[in-house]
């Protein structure tokens, strides 16, 4: 019996203690008419056989592609120590740290994670993590609605289309009014945002760098929004904050984002890591778990889950959110990653990635008929216009061993020839040069 320790003799003695004759007697509340109509599952297999089966499945997936595909989810290098530490079973086989005395390892790690997120974003408070960057953005929008008592949200269309869709799905029964504003020359349209921004607006939501890779400075939007009592929410790429102006320096009220770039594998879409940081005044409106510092009976420092009166297990239908499980193990990976990379290392890593991406731009520009969009600065991802349909070019490049980027036409009307290209520290000069050679061949064919 797999993972079940009971011997026949033990089962007998336990049944005797319970004073029933058989295990089936324990299920007598489930009368015959409530029993399964079917339970036609395959019989179990040995560990070896199951492993073999998954080796076969894993081999059906392509791992050899040279990756320039990003669109919010990036192929960064993960130091070995991240895996080694996060794979400790005292971390991964624990539950939410409800009992602080026997969970100080988890609680302190999350406290350190919250500190690291505050430092990266330049904001004062952070929670213990959320599911992913998209649901974190939705939660931030709801914080703004609660904090302002308003129901209108201005959404920049530079925000990842999937994230926008998640927000629209979640709020479809809540009478929230969304106004979407366009991206002009790669950047958030001030003209349009300032036109629709008013004293009914709960928040303006922007992304930096935006989905097309453009880096922006949203400080002017913050000033205008604050003058009308609205909040600004910025979805950010956390790794890029080693270099780019932080949400705190920009003056935004809430920062969220996808933490996958901080030491998490791509893993076909999850688990990922939603993070959220905000100004101090908003902390009691935040969703999710929060760890705080306190002292024990001897005055010794310790950590606990705190501000729990916001949460579903206490407040039930009046809670700030329904979140129970979050992504603690992913948050642990992030704080270990950030500790390993360190203050100086993060800056150097960002510089390197930026230089590689800029080099890739110059290489694209050598290809006849290809135009690199340069109206805004970019960090690691940029947009190029191809002389042909990007969808088809991407498909032909796959045959040559390259995931050369994301065809923007999939998310944006009228951008069928545009390709979004991502570069990480893992792409060598040779990778870039050879990819460009293949692209030239594909475009000429």
Partner 1 sequence: MRLIFEKSVTGRSAFSVPRCDVPGEPKIPRKYLRKTAARLPEVSELDVVRHYSNLARKNFSVDTNFYPLGSCTMKYNPKFTERIAAMEGFLSLHPLLPQLRGGGLLTQGALEVIYQTERLLCEITGMEAFTMQPLAGAHGELTGAMLIAAYHKDRGQKRKYVIVPDSSHGTNPASAAIAGYEVIVIPTDKTGCMDFTEFKKNLNQDTAAVMLTCPNTLGIFNSRIKEICDEAHKVGALVYYDGANLNAILGKSRPGDLGFDVVHINLHKTFATPHGGGGPGAGPVGVGEKLVEYLPVSRVMQRPDGTFALSYNHPKSIGYIAPFYGNFSVILKSYAYIMRLGRQGLIDVSEKAVLNANYCRVKLKDEFDVPYDRICMHEFVISASRQKEGGVSALDIAKLLIDNDIHPPTVYFPLIVKEALMVEPTETESLQTLDRFVGVMKEAARLSREAPQSLTQAPLSMPIKRLDETRAAREPRLRWELDSDNR
Scan for tokens 């064919």, then name that residue. 445
Pick the stretch among 144-152, 179-187, 194-202, 388-396 that binds partner 1 (CB under 8 A): 388-396
| Sign of the CA dihedral with 61 first, then 63, 64, and 69 last | positive
185 in contact with partner 1 (CB under 8 A)? no
Return the H-helix or E-strand segment holding 107: helix 104-121
Q: In residues, how long is the chain?
A: 445
Tell me: does residue 412 bind partner 1 (CB under 8 A): no
Contact region with partner 1 (CB under 8 A), list: 151-159, 196-204, 336-344, 434-442:
336-344
The smaller minimum CB distance to partner 1, of residues 292 and 387, is found at: 292
Q: Which stretch binds partner 1 (CB under 8 A): 35-43, 148-156, 183-191, 436-444?
A: 35-43
CA atoms lying within 13 Å on the CB side of residue 227: 8
Instruction: For residue 392, state whether it binds partner 1 (rule: CB under 8 A).
Output: yes
Map the footprint of partner 1 across residues 209-268, applying CB under 8 A: 215-217, 241-246, 249, 258, 265-268
Beta carbons of 176 and 205 less than 8 angstroms apart: no
How far is it, in rounded angstroms, from Cα 299 to Cα 200?
47
Smaller CB distance to partner 1: residue 134 or 197? 134
List the beta bridge partners of residue 372: 384
183 makes contact with partner 1 (CB under 8 A): no
Rank residues 199 and 223 by Cβ distance to partner 1 and give the closer one.
223
Nearer to partner 1, 146 or 198 (CB): 146
| Region from 77-85, 143-151, 181-189, 191-199 binding partner 1, contact rule CB under 8 A | 77-85
Q: Which is nearer to partner 1, 184 or 324 (CB)?
A: 324
Of the candidate residues 227, 281, 294, 375, the single one contacting partner 1 (CB under 8 A): 294
**From CA 62, how far away is CA 425, in angstroms rounded?**
21
Is 368 a residue that touches partner 1 (CB under 8 A)?
A: no
Rule CB under 8 A: is residue 374 a binding residue for partner 1? no
Distance of CA 188 to the CA centre of its chain: 22
Q: Is 169 in the site for partner 1 (CB under 8 A)?
A: yes
Contacts of 208 (CB under 8 A, 6+ apart): 215, 216, 218, 234, 235, 236, 237, 244, 250
Q: Extract the tokens encoding 18.
A: 């319970």
Burial of residue 9 (CB within 10 Å: 0-12, 13-18, 19+) is exposed
Contact (CB, 8 A) for 244 and 261: no
Residues 6+ apart with CB under 8 A from 44: 2
With CB under 8 A as the contact rule, the residue among 346, 370, 372, 386 that binds partner 1 is 346
Token reading at 41: 């599952």
Q: Does 323 bind partner 1 (CB under 8 A)?
A: yes
Query: Could you check whether the bond before residue 160 is cis, i.e. omega within 30 degrees of 0?
Result: no
93 binds partner 1 (CB under 8 A): yes
Shortest distance (Å) from residue 347 CB to partner 1: 6
CB atoms within 10 A of CB 365: 13
Please report whether residue 329 would count as binding partner 1 according to CB under 8 A.
yes
Instruction: Kindly list the distances between the CA atom of residue 300 and the CA atoms of 144, 291, 293, 295, 415, in Å, as whole numbers in the listed order.
Output: 37, 16, 10, 5, 59
Minimum separation from the CB atom of position 118 to partner 1 (A): 5
81 binds partner 1 per the rule CB under 8 A: yes
Given 272, 364, 382, 402, the residue binding partner 1 (CB under 8 A): 272
Cβ at position 152, least distance to partner 1 in Å: 17
**Burial (0-12, 13-18, 19+ Cβ within 10 Å), 168:** middle
We find the least distance from the C-beta atom of residue 143 to partner 1, in angstroms, to be 13
* Binding residue for partner 1, selected from 312, 385, 400, 412, defined by CB under 8 A: 312
- Taking CB under 8 A as the rule, does residue 366 contact partner 1? no
Q: Segment contacting partner 1 (CB under 8 A): 180-188, 189-197, 347-355, 364-372? A: 347-355
String of contacts with partner 1 for each residue 125-164, x by CB under 8 A: xx-xx-xxxxx--------------------------xx-
Q: Does residue 375 interact with partner 1 by CB under 8 A?
A: no
Among positions 330, 367, 370, 421, the unique one binding partner 1 when judged by CB under 8 A: 330
SS3 call for 153: strand
């Amino acid at each position: 019996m797999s993972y079940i320790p009971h011997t026949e003799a033990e089962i007998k003695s336990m049944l005797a203690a319970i004073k029933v004759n058989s295990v089936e007697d324990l299920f007598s509340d489930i009368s015959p008419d409530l029993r399964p109509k079917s339970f036609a599952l395959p019989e179990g297999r040995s560990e070896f056989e199951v492993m073999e089966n998954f080796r076969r499945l894993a081999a059906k997936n392509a791992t050899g592609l040279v990756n320039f595909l990003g669109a919010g989810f990036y192929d960064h290098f993960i130091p070995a120590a991240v895996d080694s530490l996060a794979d400790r079973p005292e971390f991964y086989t624990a539950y939410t740290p409800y009992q602080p005395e026997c969970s100080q390892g988890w609680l302190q790690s999350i406290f350190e994670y919250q500190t690291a997120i505050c430092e990266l974003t330049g904001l004062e408070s952070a929670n213990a993590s959320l599911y992913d960057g998209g649901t974190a953005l939705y939660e931030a929008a709801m914080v703004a609605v609660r904090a302002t008592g308003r129901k209108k949200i201005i959404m920049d269309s530079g925000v990842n289309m999937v994230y926008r869709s998640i927000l629209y799905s979640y709020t479809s029964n809540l009478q929230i009014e969304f106004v979407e504003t366009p991206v002009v020359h790669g950047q958030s349209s001030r003209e349009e945002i300032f036109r629709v921004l008013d004293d009914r607006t709960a928040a303006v939501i922007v992304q930096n760098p935006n989905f097309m890779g453009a880096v922006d400075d949203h400080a002017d939007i913050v000033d205008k929004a604050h003058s009308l009592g609205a909040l600004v929410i910025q979805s950010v790429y956390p790794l890029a904050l080693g270099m780019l102006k932080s949400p705190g320096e920009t003056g935004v009220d809430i920062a969220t984002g996808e933490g996958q770039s901080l030491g998490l594998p791509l893993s076909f879409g999850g688990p990922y890591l939603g993070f959220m940081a905000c100004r101090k005044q908003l902390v009691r409106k935040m969703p999710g778990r929060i760890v705080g510092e306190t002292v024990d009976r001897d005055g010794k420092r310790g950590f606990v889950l705190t501000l729990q009166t916001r949460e579903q297990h206490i407040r039930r239908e009046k809670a700030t959110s329904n979140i129970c499980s979050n992504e603690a193990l992913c948050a642990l990976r992030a704080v270990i990653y950030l500790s390993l990379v360190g203050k100086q290392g993060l800056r150097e890593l960002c510089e390197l990635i930026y230089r590689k991406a800029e080099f890739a731009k110059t290489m694209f520009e050598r290809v006849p008929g290809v135009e690199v969009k340069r109206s805004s600065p970019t960090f690691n991802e940029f947009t190029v216009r191809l002389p042909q349909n990007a969808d088809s070019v991407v498909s032909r490049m796959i045959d040559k061993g390259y995931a050369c980027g994301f065809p923007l036409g999939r998310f944006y009307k009228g951008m069928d020839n545009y390709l979004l290209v991502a570069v990480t520290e893992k792409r060598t000069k040779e990778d870039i040069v050879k990819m460009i050679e293949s692209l030239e061949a594909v475009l000429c064919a």
